[in-house]
Every structure is written in C-alpha cells, then in structure tokens.
Structure 1
Amino acid sequence: MAKAMMKMPEDFLMKVSKLASKTDEIIPRVLESGAEVVENKVRTNLSAVVGVNTKFESRSTGELEKALGISQARQDKDGNWNIKVGFDEPRSDGESNAKIANILEYGRHSQAPKPFLKPAKAQSRKNCIETMKAKLESEVENI
C-alpha cells in the first residue's frame, strides 16, 4: 500500500496527553479529520495526472481512484496512533493498486513519472494540521 507519513507537532501532542481517559475516543476522530484533508488532496492530484500526457490513448478504468481511502485509526505496539491514506487491494484485473500508484508516482522506462502522492503530502500538510487542531479544540470543549 502506498502511504505518506506526517509527524504531529509537539504542542499538539502535549494537549492530547492532558486529556487522559478520553484520548482513546478523541484521537481517532482527530486523525480521521486530518486524513480526510490529505485524502481529498491525493484524490485531486491523482485525477489530474491519470490519463494526461500519454503517448497512447489512456486505458484508465478509474479503479485506482475508487480504491483510494482511509484506514481506521489504530494504536501500534509502542502506543503511537496511526492512520493511513492509501489504496485498497486487490484490483479486478489481478494487478496491485500499490504497484500502479508506484508506477504513476515514479514512472518506468517507457512512462514518465507523474507525482501525485508526494506533492499532496506537501500541499496538504498545513491544512491537515490546522484541521486536526480545530477538531481537537472542539473535542476538548465537548468534554
């Protein structure tokens, strides 16, 4: 699965730690709000590059765009919360969505790269952080 990683600011983590018993309920909702921002940007960038500037007529089926989604927020063995924006598997033609996304992002010998993940990460970073901060503030107010 293709993925992008973002680290949360320290002041944000400090606020989260003060919430004690409610963190297991609040953190997934905060992460989901940020992931939605990133998913929208990835979807926009992906739509802009699929089938554009190709040597031959595009054979795009739209399956890659449909497979884009957000995983559930989960806590790992170290206690860190993670959420992933990526592609669901498998495709109907037997190929891997991660493989297709990788070829689009980095290209191959007969295909120029058309980056959509890395630019989406950079372009959505500030908005994602702001959205997560706003969601956390509203969740704290509701406690």
Structure 2
Amino acid sequence: MAKAIMKMPEDFLINVSKLESKTDEILPRVLESGAEVVEAKVRTNLSAIVGANTKVDSRSTGELERALGISQARQDKDGNWNIKVGFDEPRSDGDSNAKIANILEYGRHGQAPKPFLKPAKSQSRKSCIDAMKAKLESEVEGI
C-alpha cells in the first residue's frame, strides 16, 4: 500500500489556526461585503422599473426604495451564516413592502410583471462572490 505525506507551510498552518478562533468575527464582514454588491444591483434595478411604462401616472412615493436594506449576518441553528437583502416593514400606509415588491416582480391582473429581484440575483452573482473572496483574503492576511 502506498503512503503519501504532505507537509503544509508553517505560515499557512498558523493563519488557519488563527482563523478558527476569529471565524465568528470574519464571516459576518465577508457576507456584508457581498450583500452590499447585491443591494446596489437590486436598488439600481428597482429604480429603473418603478413608474416606468405605466398606463397612468406613477403614484410612487419612493418608500419601497428607502425600505431596501441588508439584515445583520446571523448564524442559524445548523451553524450556517445567513444575510438577507430585503425590505423593512411596515409601510406608512399600513401596506406591506413585501407585497408591493411581489406585485412589481410578478405582476397581477392588469399589471405586467417588472422583474427586478431575479435579474439582480443573476447579474450580481459573480461580482458578489468576487467581493466576498477579496474580503476574505484581506481578512486572512490581516491575521
């Protein structure tokens, strides 16, 4: 039976051991850097579609755009880290921002869909991953 031994560089092993104790500090910052990229794309897409191509004058108050934001990074019961890009609730008129966003995204009877979330997800995927990789590398180098 063949046997192989691999020796890792000492500086790499030291960084990995330091990373283990600081994971809870580093991962939220990495997720936030990626979420900022996605939020910017969602905001751009939303601004482009609100009030565009309507049969009647737009009644937009800008409240949906102002409600867009990023949640805090949190760890779930399975140990996975999550961060969300979405809308604060409730609106000043008592309606739900999620409902308004859903109507814009998928449309309703008499109102054509104007997707802004799904395109933002696909358009920002690569840049989000790149931003998180860069942030992780800078955090690891700073250890």
Once the two structures are superposed, residues 30-78 of structure 1 have per-residue CA deviations (whole angstroms, 9 ceiling, x without a partner) of 0000000000000000000000000100000000000000000000000
Find runs of 4+ consecutive structure 1 residues off by over 3 angstroms.
none
Q: Secondary structure of the equivalent of 2:77?
A: coil
- The question of 1:141 aligning with 2:105 is answered no
Relative distance call for 1:126 and 1:62 in structure 2 (3 A) is: same
1:58-77 alignment, distance < 5 Å: 58-77=58-77
Q: Distance in 2 between matches of 1:100 and 1:109?
A: 14
Q: Secondary structure of the equivalent of 2:128?
A: helix
Q: Distance in 2 between matches of 1:92 and 1:43?
A: 20
Q: Who wins on radius of gyration, i.e. which is larger?
A: 2
**Aligned partner of 2:108: which letter?**
R
Where in structure 2 are there 5+ consecutive unaligned residues?
Answer: 1-15
- The question of 1:114 aligning with 2:117 is answered no
Q: Distance in 1 between matches of 2:18 and 2:125?
A: 24
The two structures, once aligned, show a CA RMSD in angstroms of 1.6
User: TM-score, length-normalised on structure 2?
Assistant: 0.87
Give the drift of 1:19: 2.3
Taking every aligned residue pair, what percent have the same amino acid on both sides?
88
Q: Secondary structure of the equivalent of 2:72?
A: coil
Relative distance call for 1:90 and 1:17 in structure 2 (3 A) is: farther
Once the two structures are superposed, residues 75-103 of structure 1 have per-residue CA deviations (whole angstroms, 9 ceiling, x without a partner) of 00000000000000000001000000000
Residue 55 (structure 1) aligns with: 55
User: TM-score, length-normalised on structure 1?
Assistant: 0.87
Relative distance call for 1:99 and 1:17 in structure 2 (3 A) is: farther
Residue 12 (structure 2) aligns with: none
Where in structure 1 are there 5+ consecutive unaligned residues?
Answer: 1-15
